[in-house]
Structure 1
Amino acid sequence: MKASAPKPKWSDVSAMSSTTKSYWAQWDSLLIQDGVLCRKWENGRGDRCHLQMVVPKAKVPDVLQLYHSDCSGGHLEVKRTLLKIRERFYWVHCRDDVEDWCRKCTSCATVKGPQIRNRGELKLYNVGAPWERIAIDVAGPFPESESGNKYFMVAMDYFTKWPEVFAIPNQEASTVADKLVHEVFCPFGVPLEIHSDQGRNF
């Protein structure tokens, strides 16, 4: 390109790396300005064009450090870091490198915390008699019935697996408590334990 030579033939680059082939495919968008290899970039509408400096592979970490990790970078997310870099620079697999850099950034990982939260250990709860422990839950919303109910409240005994299901108009705490007292506790008695998902309705 410095010698203003024509585009090389495919046979000349077919045995070279994928990076070389990628630049070869973009030959018409490349030019040398002030001794620096640049790439012409146009937006999708074709009404905006600017030059991007082609970054050698050895200098990619320097650009990533400057545009993401340094004070001027601000540890932005992948999309915004990529937009900032593409305003001035280009290299093959730029997006992959930005995603990898942001994923491995210790400062970002410290702020975000682990992606998978630790959960409590699952345990087997044994019961030895009916009504020792019951489970309660609310399902819905479902299509409203003629009587105005849109939810089901389920109460089940752990020992006998006996379920009781009640239609309720909403899942407010007062509605759930009223149904529990009058339809569960009064007929069957108060259980020793009640197991729920600790939602606001309970």
Structure 2
Amino acid sequence: MAEVHEGICGAHQEGEKMKWTLSRKGYYCPSMIKDCIEFAKSCEECQKHGPIQRLPANELHSIVKPWSFRGWEIDIIGQIHPPSSKNHRYIIITIYYFTKWVEAIPLKEVYQKEILDFIEDHIIVWFGVPQTITMDQGTVFTGRKVMQYAQSRGIKLVT
């Protein structure tokens, strides 16, 4: 697969084209299309130099908080392929609505403990206890530990 994708005659083909080339050379396995797509997605050169995915522009809606220490938004980016040299596969990111300040750290795995440690170390210690934290409905954000922590600190969780 590596030879077809990036070898002497390889042209860093995307998954479908790679599968077609392998089939023409007589190779087959039941999960070949899935394997080829995953292989192409994990190629660092393809990620750096591949085409930019363009989405139609949507109108932006700014969230304005009139007073400081009112609201933050938190989310997880990932799973990132390939992982970093230290095996980090996720990024936890938070945005402070009032100033648009961003805090982010890499994570190897995402558990509720990491979320709570991040909120404590990167939001509360530096900026104080926020009134609200907006998050999506991912299980890591809606779990019992996160809910209990927010309730004990008087933080309103908005999904």
TM-score of the aligned structures, taking structure 2 as reference length: 0.45
Which structure ranks higher in relative contact order (CA pairs < 8 Å, sequence separation ≥ 6)?
2
TM-score of the aligned structures, taking structure 1 as reference length: 0.36
